[in-house]
Chains A and B, each alone.
Chain A
Amino acid sequence: MIANFGYGSLLIAWLVALYGIGAAAFGVWRKKPAWVDSARNAMLLTFPLLSLTALSLILLLVGGHYEIEYVAAVTSNSMPLYLKITALWGGQAGSLIFWSWLMSAFASAVTLRKWERDREFLPWVIVVSLVTLAFFLSLSLVVENPFNRLWVSPSGKVVEALLQPSGFTLFTQGDGRGLNPLLRHPGMIIHPPMLYLGFVSFVIPYAFAIAALLTGRTDDRWIRITRRWTLVAWLFLSLGLLLGSRWAYDVLGWGGYWGWDPVEIAAFMPWLTGTAFLHSVVIQEKRGMLKHWNMLLIILTYALVIYGTFLTRSGVIDSVHSFARSAIGPMFFAFIAFTFTASLVLLIRRWEALKSEGQMTNLFSREALFLANNLVFVLITAICFLGVNFPILTESLGAIGEALPALRNIFTAQKVTVGPQWYERITAPLFAAMLLLMGIAPLSAWGHSTSKTLGRALWKLALVSLLAPLYLILTGGRSLPALLGLWLAALVACVTLYEFWRAAAARQRTHKENFFLALWKLAGRNRRRYGGYVIHLGVVMMALGIIGVEMFQSETQGPLRPGEQLTLGQYAVRFDSLAEFPLADGRQVARAVVTVFKNGVSLGELYPRSDFYPEAQQSMNIAALHSTLEDDLYILLVDWQPVSADGATFKIYHNPLVNWLWLGGIVFILGTLVAVWPDKEPQAVARRLTPARLPQAPEQAA
């Protein structure tokens, strides 16, 4: 009953979405605003309809309706209520419903804004949002229906279908298979929703970009309207990525935070192009340049959002995240191909209207440095894309080898994969370049700063920042990449703090305020800029953590009898005892007691454990952590003798500075919140204050 209701409401939402697309297009074509208003109502109606669908599915999950295939696949009686609710996004079919629901919420919120000045955008924003929504709804309706029931024939054959096949009866089960133990973590409540929110909210700036291309209103109005939407999307995506890496650190038991897993990369790619977009729109707003580039970036970001969902959902690529293989792959591929080509065609049609109002002349002007930053972000995206698709690419390149015998040894059709090492080697110099740009760009000026003016502004701060690598050398650090990384991080920190100090001191003099009030008012005047600087400081802290783990992580492992100990650097871990006991929810727990010593001084007991989930026949290692700002000691119980319980095997990681990664993440998010907060700055003024064209005309410069 509930299932039929949920499916019915899903079907109606899909029909309403199709109607909305038609009504909006018809309204524009025949210039009938009433039709556009009707399309807007259709858009608004999808949200309550999909809320009913999502609610039905949650009721089924919580109520233990195991005759529904999806419910049986992701829940079981022993799971706590919060996990039964979060199972909504614990499997493929449910997570697509969740995606659609969020999408309709965001798109509805956008259509509720005041449109007076931007009336012409409205129908096209509705069309783009609804086309995206209708695509996801059709996936749920046809291929990945979460409301399918299980039916059994008299001969015992079980099939999955929405409606009762003739001769079959409902297949009822007392319990489900339960959620994958790795997903039974409080992180499940917040990590996937944040990522999805980031994904769906990037659809909004894309919809406005397409609306701008379709209407021919190609000034930067679309960028100004969506500025905060883009930041919100970026905020959610950043949060999702950060939470995901913390979750991996807690759950996956390899002492790492990022594994270059295809699905991690799938979420990282739209973040990269989104970050590039956030920077490059500033150039368009201030100097009227890079208009084509901005369009291209937002089109690319949208394509990567859909591609990211596709990678996670289709099972094309092996990954810890991917769900089982499914038929939705080709549909995704067709949709991405369609939207991407259509967007590019629109962009080319408006190419002339998007001509730059100025030209870049100096390599060290701020706009040139922003452009370099964009190049770095896009190159990292390209490398990620190449890496994820390497197996597919190398396999299909075999066709070249078959066609041209001379090249047979190069193109062998043999699948080649790349791992973390590959990504790290290639992206490390690019991340270093990113830090360098972050260090020098704030000191550059729009238009005509040169290497000379920039050097004058920079050299003292560069000298000060050398203190950080110097300290590392004095304490025995000899790794060149670590020294370089540390210097760059210190440079960014110095420049950013100097910028805060300089601006606040200037304001202090002119406004006769005390320093902290001046600092506060300053951030309030230009939230995007100073929020951005706070984000940069967060990145510096994260860089410290990454340098610490990537370059100075050490590990050891070994079997211990009670009283014996393992040593790792200054630390020693003594195995005291081990106990095995069942929990009320059926888990079988093995819990070790160990004492941690640093330089011979006891730091107290820790309890690494391993939980066995009988219904999943899988166990999960829960690391014990001794955490300080200096380092983490990460202890895993990997094996033990069950009967006598007099021996256990431990694996220990020493992760220097890793907590700076998480703290930096918090600063990063706070900075983003500062930037997102509504600005009081009048909108159109900023542009007029700066000259739209550079002093030299292009032909003189050439």
Chain B
Amino acid sequence: MARLKFIVGGVVILAAVVYLIVSSTAASAQYFLTVDELLNSANLYKDKPLRISGAVLGDSIQYDAQTLTLRFTIVHVPSDNKTIEAQGGLAQVLHAAVSDPARNRLQVEYRGAKPDLLRHEAQAIMTGRLGDDGVFYADELLLKCPTRYEEAVPQQSE
């Protein structure tokens, strides 16, 4: 009898937590996509919460300080760590991406302050949604400049 009470109590709590996990995952989990993956099946991901990463194209950055509207374009980079390592590290991969006009590109719009790290060949990681106009509307913008810290070896002079 006593044991049953504890088992029932435990099962009820576990069921509640499982329900919370499932419902929250449905409501707020984000697909982590590359630009290629997004553009290849844009219909599938329309209006779903997404997380996209890509290389920033420096010339495309436009910022309107009055309306705090930031627009720029990102270029596809692979997301797989092994592929990145095989191609010579993140800095190399980003450099290759922005110099390749054949790659898929994506327009991004973000409202807010312009981050300092937003510059040519930075890696942008954004969360947001893809609009009907094909522009990615970002709610959150994270930037990485891989060349700065703890890069194994300084630039080789060839």
Contact = CB atoms under 8 A, between A and B. Distances in A.
A695 B30 CA distance: 54
A159 interface: yes
A639 B2 contact: no
Interface in B6-50: 6, 9-10, 13-14, 16-17, 20-21, 23-25, 27-33, 37
B24 A649 contact: no
A558 B113 CA distance: 9
Contacts of A421: 24, 27-28
Interface in B118-158: 125, 127, 145-146, 148-154, 156-158
Contacts of A418: 24-25, 28-30
B148 A158 contact: no
A187 B157 CA distance: 38
Given A416-B30, A421-B28, A426 B5 contact: no
A340 B33 CA distance: 34
B126 to A, nearest CB: 12
A226 interface: no
B30 A417 contact: yes
Nearest to A93: B150
B29 A360 contact: no
Contact of A390 (B29, B65, B145): B29
Contact of B68 (A92, A415, A425, A649): A649
A360 B30 contact: no
Contacts, number: 136
Contacts of A164: none
A647 B6 contact: no
Contacts of B112: 557, 651
B96 interface: no
A159 B153 CA distance: 7
A450 B79 CA distance: 56
B28 A363 contact: no
A361 B65 contact: no
Contacts of B29: 390, 416-418, 422
A337 B153 CA distance: 32
Contacts of A639: 65, 113-114
A156 B156 contact: yes
A417 B126 CA distance: 12
Interface residues of A, number: 61
A701 B30 contact: no
A73 B113 CA distance: 30
Contacts of B32: 391, 414-417
Nearest to A173: B154
Nearest to B117: A618
Nearest to A72: B154
B51 A417 contact: yes
A361 B127 contact: no
B9 to A, nearest CB: 6
Nearest to B89: A325
B20 A91 contact: no
Given A156-B156, A418-B30, A559-B68, A363 B113 contact: no
A499 interface: no
A430 B24 CA distance: 14
Given A92-B150, A417-B32, A702-B3, A425 B24 contact: yes
A177 interface: yes
Contacts of A619: 116
Nearest to B65: A559
A119 interface: no
Contacts of A641: 65
Contact of A160 (B2, B16, B33, B152): B152
B156 A158 contact: yes
A91 B148 CA distance: 13
A303 interface: no
Contacts of A649: 65, 68, 113
Interface string A670-702: 000000000000000000000000000000011
Contacts of A180: 148-149
B17 A383 contact: yes
A73 B21 contact: no
A318 B125 contact: yes
B6 A559 contact: no
Contact of B31 (A324, A359, A372, A414): A414
Nearest to B49: A419
Given A415-B31, A557-B113, A639-B114, A426 B149 contact: no
Contacts of A430: 17
A383 B21 CA distance: 8
A599 interface: no
A311 to B, nearest CB: 15
Nearest to B152: A160
Contacts of B114: 638-639
B79 A415 contact: yes
A80 interface: no
Contacts of A368: 6
B65 to A, nearest CB: 5
Contacts of B16: 429
Contact of A618 (B9, B31, B37, B116): B116
Contacts of B125: 318
A180 B65 CA distance: 28
Nearest to A362: B2
Contacts of B66: 559
A505 interface: no
A419 B127 contact: yes
Nearest to B146: A324
Given A417-B51, A418-B25, A160 B149 contact: no
A511 to B, nearest CB: 39
A73 B150 contact: yes
A457 interface: no
Given A73-B149, A391-B32, A426-B21, A325 B85 contact: yes
A701 B113 contact: no
Interface in A605-656: 612, 616-619, 636, 638-639, 641, 647, 649, 651
Interface of B: 1-3, 5-6, 9-10, 13-14, 16-17, 20-21, 23-25, 27-33, 37, 51, 65-66, 68, 79, 81, 85, 112-114, 116-117, 125, 127, 145-146, 148-154, 156-158
Given A419-B28, A419-B127, 6 more contacts: A318-B125, A323-B149, A414-B37, A425-B27, A426-B17, A429-B16
10 contacts: A72-B154, A91-B150, A158-B156, A359-B2, A379-B13, A421-B28, A557-B112, A618-B117, A649-B65, A649-B113
**Nearest 5 A/B pairs, CB to CB:** A638-B113, A415-B32, A324-B150, A425-B24, A421-B28
